[in-house]
A and B are shown apart, each in its own frame.
Chain A
Amino acid sequence: MNRLKIFKNKILLLIVLFTLLGGFFRFYMNTDNPPSLNIDEISYGYSAYSILKTGKDENGIFMPLVFKSIGDYKNPVLIYSLVPSIAIFGLNEFGVRFTTALAGTLSIPVFFLLLRTLLNNTRIAFIGGILLSVSPWHIYYSRYASESLIATFLLMLGIWFFLKIFGGEKWWTVGASLALTLSLYTYHSHRLFIPLFLIFVIFAKIKLLRSVKSSMYIFIIMTFLLIIPLIILVIIGPANTRAKMVFLSLDIDFTRYVILDHLHKQGENFLLLFFWVKRYLNYFQPDFLFFSGLNMTLPGSIGLGVLFLFELPWFVLGIIKLIKDKIPAKLIIVAWTLFGLLPASLTNNEQSTVRSLLVLPALLTVTALGADFFIHLVFSIRNLYLRIGTILTYSIFIAVLLIHAFLVFVVHFPIQRGEDFMEGTKQTVEYALSQKKQYKEIIFDPYRGIEAPYIVSIPHMYILFYSQYDPAIYQQEQKTRPDGSFGFDNFTVRKIDWRVDKSKENTLFIGSPWSLPENELREGEILKKVYLVNGGLAFLIVSPK
């Protein structure tokens, strides 16, 4: 009895330690890496700030369930969860990223508890907890405001509560219903996955359900009542706008190279079906899983997979264990993986790590099963030298890959992906704000990009965010100018045409070298140049003379 208590205390202590370690990976310098707030984070932040100050979003709608935001109709949970964080830490990078980093950190003990309930094995649950604490996929999405990560945290929590219902404790029902419903409200992928998964689990465990019939009725009724607004919004409201925007049939690879820009209309839907299968199976490709799926580096270069390469043997062993052994939750793990990839595969990305993040717990469960088996295999090697040699070799292998992961996070990611996070916009906005009173008008060009001006940014949100512009004033202001351009205060957001604009006096222009060609600018007109970490010239700040 005493031994069991000591073992439990040790495990508890270790889980706390790994949670702290995981917290360190998620919080440490998360305001500087990713190098800047991306357009979604800026929008989340200012919408939450607007709610905090006025109870309305920046478009003047009171406590919305869907945020129109910049026309992409954002989900509500992340934005509302940012309100207390922004109230405490202010409207800044940390305030925006705090909630996700916290959810990411708390996911570690929750995943441990979930696995312990699911597999009834503390050791494997502990291995799973460690794997999640160092998971590059999870760390990456924990370091910036991510709906998908919060939804996955709620999903793990909800499923843990749900499995606890089978233990006969009714109070878990309320928790399960709340967490899973919140997860549905948080991210699109979960809206397809959770219903499918729950229906499957209910059918798979129908015999067990009979003993907890009343709890299950409460769960179903409560969940149904809670999701009624969401159903209405999806069917008749704007909540399905995003789904329509990213549906598979709009995929550029499909439209351009498969149906050849609708060369023949016949049979397109059949081809779409096989194209979808291709996309679905692509999530099982080794390059996505172990080499470069995380997209932290440029396409074609060696980066990081969603799992570490040293986890590959464990993953394979885990699959073998899953097939051969009598694992209690075998069907749940398989269903989680297979259903979990459905939403991501139906969208127009080759492989979307953000939309498929919800399968991470299932993949890590398989990996943890395999890691446990691997440890057992290694320690059953009778020859001492061979055993030590194997451990040493594998440890070196792990160390080399962890060093590579560290370099990707610290060095290569900010250099190669800074532009995706709108690097440089903050500096330009801060400069513009410092010079605001000296100019009649400040014009921002939304098009940017080092290779070509293909990135459409939302500079007005960055201005609102970094100036902490009063949301009450912004909601009231007329934002469309007589010439059709968009603006507020003395800021205007429109495309710069330097041949015409160079004659404008008392105006500050901010744009990329594509709209403000350096060779056409006169001496003294360039007030500031803003560079990316990789040395690329991102912006020129110019005032015509």
Chain B
Amino acid sequence: MRKIKQYCFIIFLLSVFWLLVTYIQNVIFPVRFLPHNFFILELLDKRVELLPGLLLMMGAGNIILLWLISKRFFSSPYYFLPSIIYALSPWSSYLIAAGSFYIYLLFLLLIIFYGLILLKSGCRFWGTILTAVVTAITLYSSFFLFVILPVSFTGIVILKVISFKEFKNTIILLIILTFPLLIYISGNYPGLRNIFFSEINVISDPGLLNAVNKYQGAARSKGLGGLAKISENKYIFLTEYLFLKYAKSFVPATYFTPAEKLLNFSFSPPIYLGFLIPFLYGLYKFLNPSILRKILLLSTVLVIPSVLAKPLVDLNRLVLFAPVVIFVISYGYVKMIEQKEKTKFLILLSIVIIVFQLFVTFFDIQARERDRFVKYFDQNYQIGKQ
């Protein structure tokens, strides 16, 4: 009976999510990203596009995966929290409506994470198969994750989140599965180089070099060229800039306000402001248990695709980090509920703000969002590269 209730609730949540995506899609249609190709297909010089229907299914899949994962962390009925937050937040809905490739990658990442949980919880066979196969698919799909996932796995072993013994078979299977890709890459260096420069737009930005020249020229004219060479060279400026981008991925304004615009024009926040309260509380509580701290530390590699993008913060790429934020919020709620008397007011305040903003955002989307896009980008409905 309990299970049926759970399934019913998940179906209800999926319906709400579907309605939300459809609603946004209807309002902003035909606003689209330029399609993103798969890593392996890019190397083979072929193109395949993800169908919008498939993306919607993956978005829904993310809700189910969040539910399955959180069942391992939270007790009943709190394990619905991450799925609710994900389903209600405009972030993924907007990205699905605009055809984001990163929703597909997020789907794969969540499966990998679920596989790792299975591994950790002793379900070795299915954990190994799921993790290795889906990781291999991910490596074939995205250049970024081709770099990030091996680093993350190394981190998982070094920080002893999962022991090498538990992880050994997965790594062997993964190497076997990705062997063809590695062979192909080793013989196609120019292709890889092209992908590298097209994905990592931050270093191809000419503005940085211009700034260095301008600054050094100005200092030289005052006889201070030597000092400028020490402190205003391209390496220092690039390091500072990357560090700034990295730091900006961790500030609340990025996630809970429209400081960074969804699809480069929207006034809807990625996640509703009311969730900021449990987020801060969760973060505060997250810092104590060492295993959670380690996972949080490891998960920060997921912001790298956004750091290496051209804009200061790329919400499309940063969606890979969204589950981390969502889990911190959920953890915050759970801890707040545990201390009911002390935090009752905060929980209430959070819910009131969320409900209020939900209505305001819906009305704003209907009334202004399309005109807003035209104001920013005129009648050109392509948002740009992903």
Q: Which residues from chain A sit less than 8 Å from chain B, CB to CB?
A: 256-260, 263-264, 266-267, 270-271, 274, 277-278, 281-282, 284-287, 290-291, 300-302, 309, 312, 320, 323, 400-401, 403-404, 406-407, 410-412, 415
Residues of A within 8 A of B241 (CB): 302
Q: Which residues B197-255 have CB closer than 8 A to chain A?
A: 207, 211, 214-215, 218-219, 222, 224, 227-228, 230-232, 236-237, 240-241, 243-244, 247-248, 251-253
> SS class of chain A's interface: helix, strand, loop or mixed?
helix
Q: Knowing A271-B360, A404-B232 touch, does A278 contact B215 (C-beta < 8 A)?
A: no
Cβ 8 A contact of B368, one of A263, A301, A406, A410: A263
Residues of A within 8 A of B364 (CB): 267, 271
Find out whether the CB atom of A291 lies under 8 angstroms from the CB atom of B244.
yes
Q: Which residues from chain B sit less than 8 Å from chain A, CB to CB?
A: 207, 211, 214-215, 218-219, 222, 224, 227-228, 230-232, 236-237, 240-241, 243-244, 247-248, 251-253, 256-259, 267, 269, 273, 284, 287, 312, 356-357, 360, 363-364, 367-368, 371-372, 375-376
Q: Knowing A264-B367, A278-B259, A412-B215 touch, does A287 contact B231 (C-beta < 8 A)?
A: no
Residues of B within 8 A of A256 (CB): 375
Complex: A284 Cα to B207 Cα, angstroms: 25
| B261 to A: closest C-beta gap in Å | 9
Find out whether the CB atom of A301 lies under 8 angstroms from the CB atom of B211.
yes
Find out whether the CB atom of A284 lies under 8 angstroms from the CB atom of B252.
yes
| A269 to B: closest C-beta gap in Å | 10
A-B contact pairs, 23 of them (CB 8 A): A256-B375, A257-B376, A260-B375, A263-B371, A267-B360, A271-B267, A274-B273, A274-B360, A281-B253, A285-B251, A286-B244, A286-B251, A287-B244, A287-B248, A290-B247, A301-B214, A302-B237, A309-B243, A320-B287, A403-B230, A404-B236, A410-B222, A411-B222
Residues of A within 8 A of B231 (CB): 400-401, 403-404, 407
Residues of A within 8 A of B356 (CB): 270
List the A residue with the shortest CB-CB distance to B288. A324
Q: Knowing A302-B241, A410-B224 touch, does A257 contact B375 (C-beta < 8 A)?
A: yes
| A10 to B: closest C-beta gap in Å | 32
Residues of B within 8 A of A267 (CB): 360, 363-364, 367
Find out whether the CB atom of A400 lies under 8 angstroms from the CB atom of B218.
no
Residues of A within 8 A of B207 (CB): 300
Find out whether the CB atom of B219 lies under 8 angstroms from the CB atom of A411.
yes
Apart from A403-B230, A407-B219, A412-B215, list 5 A-B contacts with CB within 8 A: A274-B360, A287-B244, A404-B231, A407-B224, A410-B222
Interface centre among A267, A274, A282 (most CB of B within 10 A): A274
Find out whether the CB atom of A266 lies under 8 angstroms from the CB atom of B360.
no
Cβ 8 A contact of A278, one of B219, B228, B257, B376: B257
Cβ 8 A contact of B259, one of A259, A271, A281, A412: A281
Residues of B within 8 A of A284 (CB): 251-253
Cβ 8 A contact of B372, one of A257, A270, A400: A257
Complex: A320 Cα to B287 Cα, angstroms: 10
> SS class of chain B's interface: helix, strand, loop or mixed?
helix
Residues of B within 8 A of A412 (CB): 215, 218
Find out whether the CB atom of A407 lies under 8 angstroms from the CB atom of B232.
yes
List the B residue with the shortest CB-CB distance to A300. B207
Complex: A300 Cα to B367 Cα, angstroms: 32
Complex: A274 Cα to B360 Cα, angstroms: 10
List the A residue with the shortest CB-CB distance to B284. A323
Cβ 8 A contact of A406, one of B227, B258, B267: B227
Complex: A281 Cα to B254 Cα, angstroms: 9
Find out whether the CB atom of B215 lies under 8 angstroms from the CB atom of A282.
no
List the B residue with the shortest CB-CB distance to A415. B218
List the B residue with the shortest CB-CB distance to A297. B215
Find out whether the CB atom of B248 lies under 8 angstroms from the CB atom of A285.
yes
Residues of B within 8 A of A323 (CB): 284
Complex: A109 Cα to B363 Cα, angstroms: 54
List the A residue with the shortest CB-CB distance to B357. A274
List the A residue with the shortest CB-CB distance to B366. A264
| B288 to A: closest C-beta gap in Å | 10
Please name the 3 residue pairs, one residue from A and one from B, whose CB atoms are nearest each other, closest first.
Answer: A286-B247, A278-B257, A281-B253
Complex: A445 Cα to B194 Cα, angstroms: 54
Complex: A13 Cα to B313 Cα, angstroms: 47
Complex: A401 Cα to B252 Cα, angstroms: 27
| B268 to A: closest C-beta gap in Å | 10
| B254 to A: closest C-beta gap in Å | 9
Complex: A410 Cα to B232 Cα, angstroms: 14
Find out whether the CB atom of B367 lies under 8 angstroms from the CB atom of A407.
no
Residues of B within 8 A of A403 (CB): 227, 230-231
Complex: A253 Cα to B356 Cα, angstroms: 23
| A176 to B: closest C-beta gap in Å | 32
Find out whether the CB atom of B219 lies under 8 angstroms from the CB atom of A302.
no
Complex: A112 Cα to B273 Cα, angstroms: 38
| A509 to B: closest C-beta gap in Å | 32
Residues of B within 8 A of A264 (CB): 367-368
Find out whether the CB atom of B251 lies under 8 angstroms from the CB atom of A407.
no
Complex: A519 Cα to B247 Cα, angstroms: 50
Complex: A84 Cα to B208 Cα, angstroms: 48
| B52 to A: closest C-beta gap in Å | 28
Complex: A79 Cα to B363 Cα, angstroms: 49
